[in-house]
Each structure stands twice: as structure tokens, then as C-alpha cells.
Structure 1
């Protein structure tokens, strides 16, 4: 535990030293992305699907509009790893022909294929047959997915048309989407900054209006963090609601499995709801996603800030203000408001580190020239710090955590496991089926790519829901004075995803939700 704390303090010090240098180097703003001109790009996936079913729009028109937008913004964002544009247009033509010929009916499609003809995008680590599945690591250069993963298969069965796969950090291990195969992705609101990770390329495309609905995955905030940075909605479901098959690296049968979930990312809250209905259709749990939620019957618990060393990871005033405004709004609507103590949130990082104690984390540092050789973790991490490794620094640090079992003594790890289980039972009892918990998604609104490695501990805001097995939705709350997205996450009890999604829709109506980047 002492070693883990020393590492965190060292990162804080490095961040403190490097931050002014990075700001000085990056002071000049890069060109902004082009503005959204096609009105179709401002329509929700739910509405697009309905209009396609009813013959008011063709799928080909919608698909081509999104392909055009991707081509327009990707030179600024570097979010796309590999595309299937020609195949997607052909898929759309088939959808339109089937509707025109009467082979399919609108009423049937609404029930059986509610995303019929709607384009989607997919995180590169989520298997999409025939497209890149490298994990952004050199040892897998040129690797393609042999089949669709479970989440992609369900969305395609619901009629969705995949357009491309999007960039991630190497092996999904970092806060910034960069790797040595596909390069670094950029934020549509300020291209000097990061779109986050690990679903960062996905978040950037959606935030830029170049995708309407995306597939992400979340193990320590990898859906919600990019959702914050790119101004969109993102939902991490209750573990087990969506099948985990088809992800690289595969978390199944490891101590990280219960932390992991696939989930939807979108610009409109109603699309999260629709996607979750599709993805959870066979889960066999009473999610009751269509059950109405009245704010006056809700109990709202909140924390605006998580205590940290010398306040270094304190939440910025704009995020605290967004939480305050949302709480005040819900209070006016009749919800009861309660502030939670720090005991619920302050040790979430240590809870995560305790998962490395089992020693069954996959070996991720595979030599691209000699796959059978095992890299020395400390040496590789030192080389990566100076840019001399074939692996990125964040992947090397993850491997180091696995090697040294989270830098926690076994006795402490056992203690944290017991505390985690006790906390899960207490929070689920507290929230019940009518309580939500609001807290920041991240301590600030954006991230400088060069500093991402030194902010790893800031994921403790997101890890709370992973550790406690709670569903969580990031809710965008507009832009701050610098034009960067702000927002927070809404959690609920186990299997109470409907509360997160319903509150997201209510707050979108009240505060506007996604705001397009300024051109």
C-alpha cells in the first residue's frame, strides 16, 4: 500500500512539473473541425430509424451522409482505424430495396429490427468481422476480426449498419487514445486535447457529429470518460447485462471480468435507451427499461468531489456547478436530495488495485519480433518513459501493475476485498429501486495528451461504479467558458439501469445535452 501511494504521489509531482511546459508548447490552438451543415446529422438514431421504416428517408441517404461527415472530420481527429464504407452503402441499398418491395414491414421492423438502416460505429477492440482487431499493439499488426462479437452481432441483428472501427489506447490501457499502429486521436472541441480513452476514437466521432450511435467498452471508465471529453451520453451497464464475448483483450475468466461491460455511446439520451433495449434483450433480468420514472419519487444522493493528496484531483468549479444545477432542478421536481460522505468513494482506486492480486491478468507485453519471449516489466516501463520501447507508457504501467499485483501487500488486498463486498451490499441497500447517486465523471473537463499517463489515479471517480457493480450513465451538461464539454455521471442500484437512462433523458430536456463543437 505504501508503494502504491508513493507511485501516485510521484505521478502528481511529475504532472505538476510538466504541466506548465505542456501548456506553453500547446498554447497555439489548432484548426477547428468543420461545422455540421447537413440537418440529418442532428437527428437522433431513434428518429432516423422511424423515418427509414416509414419511407420518409432512405437508409442510403443517411449512411452516405455519415460517411461524408466522417471523411470531412477524420483528418482533424484521426479517430478511424479502418472503414467499410462501400460495404455499408451496399447494406443500406439492400435495406431500402427490402422496404420498397414489401419484403419487410414497418410495424414488424419496429419490434424486431428497431435500428433498421441506421449507421453505427464500433470501438476497434470490439470484434467486427473482417475489420481491424489489433488492440493498437505492434505484435498484432494487420490482425482482423474473424467474426462479430456478441454486442456487434446483436446490433446488426437489430438492423444497424457498421461504418468503421475507431481508435483506442494500446490494449485499452490508457486515458488517451494513442498507440504506435494508428497514432493519436484528437478532441473535436479542441484538437490540442485528448478525446479520452479507451473508447476515445468512438467518442470523438460521435461528439463531432460523424456518428450517431457507437459501441464502447468500459472497465475503469472507458465509456464515460470519453463521453465527458466529447460532450455525449455514455452508459456502462450493470455487469452481465450485455455478453462480454468478442473483446480484445478478453477479460473473461480474469479478476477484471466483473469490472468490464460493453455499452452504448450516443449524442441523444433516447438512443442510449433504444440501444440498451437491443443489447439487453436476452439478459433474462427484470430491467424494465420502459417503466416510467417520476423524479418526485426519486431519492438523489450526491458527492461533488473526491478527496485527494493536497487536493490535486479536486473537481473543477464548472463541473461542481453542473452537479449543483442538476440537483436543484431535481429538487424542484420533487426529488429528495442527500449528500453522501467520502467513505463511499475515497478508496475506489485501492479497490481496483486489489484486483491485480489474483495474478491471472493477461500478459500484454508481447514482443512483436519474438512472441514467445517475455519482456522485463521494469526495464520496459523505463524505456517507454523515454520513448525507447515498442510499447506505450500506459501499456507498460498496466503490465507493471499486473506483475507486482497492484503494489499492494496480500494482507491489504484481502482487506479491500472484504471492504468492497461490504460496500456493495450497503450501497445497493441504500439506493434500492428508487435511488440514484450523482458524482463527477472526472475531476476536470479535458485532458492534455502529454499528461494522460500522470493522471491515471483520476479514474477513481469512474471506478466507483465498476467496483460496486453499479450501472452508470455520463450526462453532458453543455459547455464551459472555454468551449469544452462538462457533465457528470448518474449511478443506480444493481440492475436499475432504467433509472440512470431516465434521469439522463430528463436532464437532457432541461439542460440541452450534447452541444456541437464550435467551427
Structure 2
């Protein structure tokens, strides 16, 4: 409580907000933009110019896009327009084979885009250039989408504020005094600010859903092993870590989630049965508005808890659905389950901070940090230290939490079945002030637990709180039941409005 008041005093003047929208194209879904390009109501070049102008307008305030390929993207947009003009493919064929032809998108600076940097927020990687596209980027290019820039992240993607010594800090588009989340924080910010048509992030502890929450947009972490993680850096060390990591979409409109997931899933798309229609009335709804009281995690704010009552009332009135409230106490140990299940038998974080060339000297780096000479952030050094001194892989504590996770996973999968979803907080509070997460490090547990349970989840924005900051909830489904959480996201968007756009001056 004292920490909250301290940061409110430090940031007692409201920060800057994103500039107004001057081109209405920026408000449309990526799916809508793609259709207008195919049907010649818009050109890809026109769309590209609109988003480039938007990035140039918002980036001085927000620092969300850290590298761009505007010149090459413009050439690719012109080629997309020429393909349409040539009429060698009719609209139906284009919609099927290149559903996002000419649509610009961004991705975080840890997912490889050929010819662009892949620093992953690590100073020693600031000159690394990707030699090939990540699998997801390649699939999106094949579908006609055009990458235009990279967005900011936390150092090596291991913190929930996007700040590093390569690109600096990204600021919240609704109030620049607040964080954007991490590690896909720059991407969440870019989507909220309409700086690209859609974005791609990655999530091993909430790195898609927390930025989606803090920035008021949609974000989806897919089921395990459906979307390829090849091209993401840092790479998962073990197959189990690989099962926790998910690459997925961030976007302003729920309608974009399913078509984007269909593309990036590639040949695994059939596993998700995304073409099967979902009847909201046939979904079983459960909800829980807190972790039931973890001592090291902030209480869920009243404004977020009220959202669950509103949703339950809507489901009852609109669909005669009686959502069932549950109180699963195993959620209290969420951060412990995540921390210990992330342990690996090799490759410590201090080695990753050295870009896998030996290890950093942690005490020496802390001394350098104190005088402003370290190449690393304070939280990265703290993470390396905590990993080094805590119980390791294979310890009795590790085995205990692996077993508890397995039991919890079985219980959750049995509860959800193939027709159930759980509504659960994405985060206990709206976006904190910059650096405030250092005093509440375990608040990521509301998303992290979903990763180690290896379940898919969709963050759904539910408007702004009394301070003008986004809030929302996550919808958790069973493995390979992504279509259910996405269908619920679309339903809640219709009922409650979804993303809150910037001011409009067009």
C-alpha cells in the first residue's frame, strides 16, 4: 500500500497520452483492411503510408517501435497492389491463399525477421541481424502480410516491464507514466496506439496477455506445440519450457484472432478445429475473481473484480447461461509453480546475459550498475542472482512443485473438458507506474500459471478504469480448445466494447 502511494506521489502529474487518430483506416481490423485491399477499395501503399505516418506520430512519446523497414515494406506494398491489378488471381483465391495480402504488421524484437536486428533487448546482441524469418513470420509473409517494424521488449524477455539498455523504456499510450507490460510490451503499446494492423508476440509467463491487458487490446497465447517457436530468442532450453512458450497474435479487434491463429499454426491448424462453429449457449462458464489470497501477490482491484459480475449478468440475460463461480485454492501457489517449473538442468540466466559466451560476473555487474556502467538492467541482474541462490532443477522443492502442477493440470483439464472456459484475472491491478513492478514482482502469477498448465488463454479488454487505464480479464480453455476462448472474446467485445480507441481528429 505504501509503495502505491509513493509512486502516485512521484508521478503526481498525469503523463502524456497517444496523439489522436487522423486516418480512419487505422481504426479498422486487419481482416477488414485486407478485404478492402483485395477488393480495391484501398491500396496497400495507402495503408502502408497511413501506418508509417502513425508510427512517426506516436513513437517520440511511446517508444514502442525500435527498428523499421519502411522502405522495403513500401516496395512490397506496391508489389501487392500490382498483383491485385494484374488479376492473375481472383478475389476468392486471394482470400484463400493470401488472406492478409498487403497488410502491415509488427513483431517484438526477439522474433526473427530476415534482415532485421534480433537483439532480444540484450546489449551484446544489439548488432545481431536475423538471417532468416521465424516460422511464424514466414507463414504471415506467405499469407501476404508485410512486416514493417520491431517493437520493444524487456531484457531477454524475462520481465513484465519493457525496458532495456538497447532501446530504453516504452510508455503506456493511455498515460506515459505507466508501464506497457512485458515482454511483448512494445507490441501491446503499438496495437493500442494503432501503429500497425496487428502484432505478433510470445508468451512464456504472460508476455502476450499482460501487455494486452495493460494496453487494452486482445492477445492470445495458443495451445502448446501448435504454433512453431522456431526463430524466437532466447530459445527454450528444454522441451518442457518449449511447451510453456507460445507465439501468438495481439490485435485491436477480436475478429482478427482466429484468422491470424489459423495462419501461424500452419499445418497444425487442423488440431485446433478452428472451422468448427462455436455456440456460446453450449459453453460451460466458470469464473474466479482472485487467486484466493497469495501473500506475495497484490489483491485484485475492485474494478477488475466487478467485471466478473458484469459478465455473469450478461451471460444470464443474453443467453440464459448460469456462470459458475469457483474458488480453486491451488491458484495461491501460482508463482511458485511457475518459478520452479521453469528451472532447467543447464544454461543459467547469467549465461544467457553473456549471450551464451561464458557467464556474467553477477557481483561485478551489480557494482557497475550502481555507477551506471552495466550493460544490463537491474531486474535482469536480480533474476540471475535469484536463480543462482535458489533451489535448483531436480531439488526436492522443484520436484514438489512439478508434482503439484501435474495434479492441478489434471484437475483443470477435467473441469474444462471440451466445452468449458474459465474467466480469470489477467493481472490484479491496472498498469503500474514505471519501476513499480520491482516492488510487486510476483503479480505476473495470474498469467504465469496458465503457461505451466499448458492451456490456451485469450485476454479480453473490458474498457478503462476510473484512472483512465485499461482493464480486462483472460479466458482460459482446455488444450486445443483455443476456438472457445476466442469465441468468448468475440462475445464479450460485442457486449462491452473491447478496445478503447485514441481520440479521433479526422
Q: Name the TM-score, length of structure 1 as normaliser.
A: 0.92
**Distance in structure 1 (CA, Å) of the matches to 2:239 and 2:389:** 16
The match for 1:412 is 397
CA-CA distance at 1:104 after TM superposition: 2.7
Q: Deviations over 1:208-240 (max 9, x none)?
A: 111220010000000000001111000000011
Q: Deviations over 1:29-72 (max 9, x none)?
A: 23322111211111111111111111111111111111111111
**Distance in structure 1 (CA, Å) of the matches to 2:276 and 2:320:** 19
CA-CA distance at 1:349 after TM superposition: 1.0
Q: Structure 1 residue 499 and structure 2 residue 492: aligned? A: no
Q: Structure 1 residue 334 and structure 2 residue 320: aligned? A: yes
RMSD across aligned C-alpha pairs, in angstroms? 2.1
The match for 1:115 is 100
When structure 1 is superposed on structure 2, of 277-286 and 200-209 the one drifting more is: 277-286
The match for 2:335 is 349
Q: Structure 1 residue 517 and structure 2 residue 502: aligned? A: yes
2:231 to 229, 238, 246: 246
Q: State the secondary structure of the residue aligned to 1:256.
A: helix
CA-CA distance at 1:404 after TM superposition: 3.5
Q: State the secondary structure of the residue aligned to 2:323.
A: strand
Q: Deviations over 1:256-277 (max 9, x none)?
A: 2221010000000010111011
1:305 to 290, 301, 321: 290
What stretches of structure 2 of length at least 5 have no aligned partner? none
Q: Structure 1 residue 23 and structure 2 residue 5: aligned? A: no
The match for 2:71 is 86
The match for 1:46 is 31
The match for 1:358 is 344
Q: Structure 1 residue 174 and structure 2 residue 159: aligned? A: yes
The match for 1:11 is none
The match for 2:411 is 426
**Distance in structure 2 (CA, Å) of the matches to 1:454 and 1:361:** 27
**Distance in structure 2 (CA, Å) of the matches to 1:225 and 1:379:** 32
**Distance in structure 1 (CA, Å) of the matches to 2:198 and 2:189:** 12
CA-CA distance at 1:338 after TM superposition: 1.4
The match for 2:137 is 152
CA separation of 1:365/1:455 partners in 2, compared to 1, >3 Å: closer, same or farther?
farther
CA-CA distance at 1:372 after TM superposition: 4.5
- Aligned pairs, number: 503
Q: State the secondary structure of the residue aligned to 1:47.
A: helix
CA-CA distance at 1:330 after TM superposition: 1.5
CA separation of 1:387/1:350 partners in 2, compared to 1, >3 Å: closer, same or farther?
farther
Aligned 8 A contact 1:178 1:184 in 2: yes
Aligned 8 A contact 2:351 2:358 in 1: no
The match for 1:222 is 207
Aligned 8 A contact 2:154 2:160 in 1: yes
CA separation of 1:497/1:373 partners in 2, compared to 1, >3 Å: closer, same or farther?
closer
1:95 to 80, 94, 103: 80
Aligned 8 A contact 1:384 1:396 in 2: no
What stretches of structure 1 of length at least 5 have no aligned partner? 1-15
**Distance in structure 2 (CA, Å) of the matches to 1:505 and 1:261:** 21
CA separation of 1:330/1:386 partners in 2, compared to 1, >3 Å: closer, same or farther?
farther
CA-CA distance at 1:511 after TM superposition: 0.6
Q: Name the TM-score, length of structure 2 as normaliser.
A: 0.94
